[in-house]
Chain A
């Protein structure tokens, strides 16, 4: 059944195989006694788990082990992790992650070596068991390249039946898990068979080093090939209690390209037979307590999304504006806020650090180019990122709300990101809480500048012509206003004095203490005399030109007021005298009554005039 793939590829591969065999020179006398390889092809990401057992047959101790990948795999390698479990038996609790470096050892063409640093050097006759976990993106190629709406998606996968290794392998077996039972073809390398959705190769025994036996599997894979070409995650920290995350997506369907027209009717009436490889939903697992979630694009809000949240997680399920078929693209933005105290901590050395996941929150997507920007609060210093894997790091500055010197931004760029990269990373920085006051103080200064401008405007004279009649009229009006205000002030004082006098009379009626009442009278008289003088001074200070307008009003007011004060004084005298003569209260009342009447009438008049003056 291998006829469906191009023949030429096979011949080229076998040539390569020969070339490897000639070029190889095992760097050390290591032998892989057992290789058990499982390749998961059930999604767009190829995940391979290989368990190997290494034995040192040579006499020199070995401290590194070389892993080999062919050039296509090396190019699309996204994630590689080698672990070893210390303890014997089944307990794998103490899995140690080993360091993997690009190998310095010379490798044959089309093969890339990776050097695994063994935890302790392997002496003669010793063995070590390693688990190699790797993930590859864009390794499954759709074939046919273009499909119609009702077709299923078939993909090709190329690999070697033999585990590619610079060391000879004693026993090895490979199992490839395919997502459906429909397998168009696979290269047969005896013994090989297919059963229960698994293509099995091997066991093969005593395979020489760098043996390459090209195989191809052609099978159905309708899993969503959701690839984010460009993802920009911006994590903005505010020490006022929030972290805001904005993610800009440029999403594509990287599967077989869509051919022909698109029928919405077919798509919706026969969901099982139409658009099998397309997808319309995406699921994002957001952190718990995420809030203010939005989902929009250039047009505006996209309403087809659902948010479910419980104590442990928040799930955002969103639908793009249209289902995505092969080759189709969509851009959108999601954003959400998360509480500060869940992700930012203070370390022992006084530095603060953010601890948050690196990759996209979407399930099962590949990100070709991921840019993570951590925007630290203004005034942070010594920013540095700690990642469990390599990524480009750059330091930038960003200006947003209420910024003066800009916020430091730690920008991390990584290509080929798979969900395995969705682990926590840290950004350490120094920040003093006092710097938080910069923003409110900026606002305060802003408002004060406004008030300052108002003060300046009212204090300075902005008129150009100082001699125009309107200017002079205004000037005069100001002066009159000023005088009137001063008169009002004095009048108020006088009113307060007379109030005091009346209060003393009431006290007299209650206590009969004539002495204090007289004292109050004396005080009031002195005060009235003083204020009389003040009033005269104010009136004199008024320029002659403006006198006529105000003078009439002020004069009447002053006359009435004086009259009122006099009446009050008379009333006071009469009452005090009456008390001194110890007259009955009735008699006092009858004596005081006429003064009282006049006084009330005058009070009314004065009050009216006073209001008139305001106008």
Chain B
């Protein structure tokens, strides 16, 4: 085989999967909580859609990547 052949590995070192999963999911769940707290404590009239989308978007971003690393950590290589 030619010498210019490079082995391909994961873009993120596999030893970081647990810590990444825990950190991202924690942040994700905290922002989910803040989203729902905001949803139930504010009344219909002074709820701001921008803030809802921002909190929801942030939460889904962290939860999405967090659950990906959780899957990878537990051996479900997607």
Query: Taking beta carbons and an 8 Å cutoff, which residues of A are in contact with B?
Result: 236, 238-242, 244, 292, 337, 339-342, 344-348, 352, 355, 400-402, 433, 436, 439-448, 450-452, 454-455, 458-459, 478-479, 481-482, 485-486
Contacts and interface: CB of A to CB of B under 8 A. Distances in A.
Interface range on chain B (Cβ under 8 Å from partner): 35 or more
Interface of B: 1-2, 4-12, 14, 35-36, 39, 42-47, 49, 52-53, 56-57, 59-61, 63-65, 67-68, 71-72, 75-78
Nearest to B64: A444
A244 B36 CA distance: 39
B16 to A, nearest CB: 11
A340 B8 contact: yes
A451 B8 contact: no
B7 A451 contact: no
Nearest to A485: B43
Q: Give the secondary structure class of A's interface.
A: helix
A345 B77 contact: no
B46 A485 contact: yes
A570 B32 CA distance: 47
B72 A485 contact: no
A240 B77 contact: yes
Contacts of A344: 7-8
Contact of A478 (B44, B53, B67, B77): B44
Contacts of A342: 7
B39 A241 contact: no
A345 B9 contact: no
B6 A345 contact: yes
B59 A458 contact: no
A340 B76 CA distance: 14
Contacts of A442: 64
17 contacts: A240-B10, A241-B14, A292-B75, A340-B8, A346-B8, A348-B5, A355-B1, A401-B78, A402-B78, A440-B64, A444-B64, A445-B60, A450-B60, A455-B39, A459-B47, A482-B45, A482-B46
A358 to B, nearest CB: 17
Contact of A242 (B44, B63, B77): B77
Contacts of B53: 455
The 3 A-B residue pairs with the shortest CB-CB distance, nearest first, are A241-B10, A451-B56, A444-B64
A486 B7 contact: no
Contact of B64 (A242, A339, A447, A454): A447
Given A292-B75, A455-B53, A482-B44, A239 B64 contact: no
B71 A401 contact: yes
B30 to A, nearest CB: 14
B22 to A, nearest CB: 16
Given A344-B7, A444-B60, A448-B60, A478 B78 contact: no
A482 B45 CA distance: 7
Instruction: Point out which of B45, B47, B52, B64 has the most chain A C-beta atoms below 10 A from its C-beta.
Output: B64
B31 to A, nearest CB: 10
A337 B77 contact: yes
A440 B71 CA distance: 11
A458 B68 contact: no
Instruction: Point out which of B7, B11, B14, B75 has the most chain A C-beta atoms below 10 A from its C-beta.
Output: B7
A195 to B, nearest CB: 46
Nearest to B57: A448
A149 B14 CA distance: 52
